[in-house]
Amino acid sequence: MPEGARWHVAVADTRRVEQLAGALSSRAPRVILARRRAELLALWPQDEPESLVRKVLADTCTACNLSLQTWGLARTPVLLSALRDGYQEATEARALVQSLGREAIGDPHELGPFLLLGRLGTDATAIELCPGRAGEPRAIRRDSDRRLLSTLDGFLRNHGNTSLTARELHYGRSTLFLSLRKIEQLTGCSLGHPDERFLVELCLRILQVHDTDVRALLKRHSSSPELADGNRVLAS
């Protein structure tokens, strides 16, 4: 191996390691493989296009009848001396795409801010600060009306646009405003204050990444939210 060479790093987690390794070897002659229990580590030379690496990974999943979530990729090619960092990044991306329920390879370029949320969710200081400054969305989970989580999610995704939120959730405006008022009471924050609304959304997204119950409640819409039409959120 030439000194200073860098490598694309991919990590798979599957009980069918041998089958996956065989499918990968037949499609990528230059790949270097290492197996450990249910994990498969794959290294490609840096001169292999990243798009080709992704395609080969997807093809192996199809051939072995496995989910694309089986694989995670490191963000950039790494030196062999930094292989541990590449392995950890690929493993983190794979675990995150599985937690989000996406049928996709765990690719840091695609996951973007969700990687940050994943790390914040394991940071004790961040978790401690969120409830104290912006209320605690988990309090809504404990409330008997669990629809409040979906209401909050819709309100935030529609950028505080109450008309779009009411139409999307099939609520009357009065029902929506009552729900938003209840959310303010439970979280102890004002949804009309931009900074507090941002922190509430941050807490909610962290929970969405780390809590399977929250993800089950938040059935995201596939279409993008429309642009806000100027409606104001609740007054402080």
Mind listing the pLDDT tens digit for each residue in 138-169? Answer: 555 554 456 788 888 889 989 899 999 999 88
Q: Which residue has the higher pLDDT, 128 or 226?
A: 128
**Confidence band (pLDDT; 50, 70, 90) for 177?**
very high
Handedness of CA 203, 116, 208, 173 (dihedral sign): positive
Locus of tokens 């969710």: 121
What does the block give as tokens for 143? 């409330």
What does the block give as tokens for 95? 């675990």
pLDDT of residue 215: 64
Q: Is-contact 45 7, C-beta < 8 A?
A: yes
Buried-state track 8-18, b at ≥16 Cβ within 10 A, e below 16: bbbbbbbebbe
Of 91-105, 114-128, 174-188, 198-212, minimum mean pLDDT range: 114-128
Residues whose CB falls within 8 Å of the CB of residue 158, separated by 6 or more in sequence, listed in order: 164, 165, 168, 225, 226, 228
pLDDT of residue 223: 38
Domain 119-217, CATH class in plain words: mainly alpha
Give 54-108 pLDDT, tens digit per residue.
999 999 999 999 999 999 999 999 999 999 999 999 998 998 888 777 788 998 8
| Closest to 86 in 3D by CA, of 105, 94, 58 | 94
* pLDDT surpasses 50 at 227: no
pLDDT of residue 27: 94
pTM: 0.60
CATH code for the domain defined by 6-110: 3.30.70.270
**Confidence band (pLDDT; 50, 70, 90) for 133?**
very low
Location of each CATH 1.10.10.2840 domain in the chain: 119-217
Location of each CATH 3.30.70.270 domain in the chain: 6-110
**Confidence band (pLDDT; 50, 70, 90) for 121?**
low
What does the block give as tokens for 194? 């931009």
What does the block give as tokens for 122? 């394991």
> Can you tell me the distance from the alpha carbon of 200 to that of 141, in angstroms, rounded to the nearest whole number?
14
* pLDDT surpasses 90 at 232: no
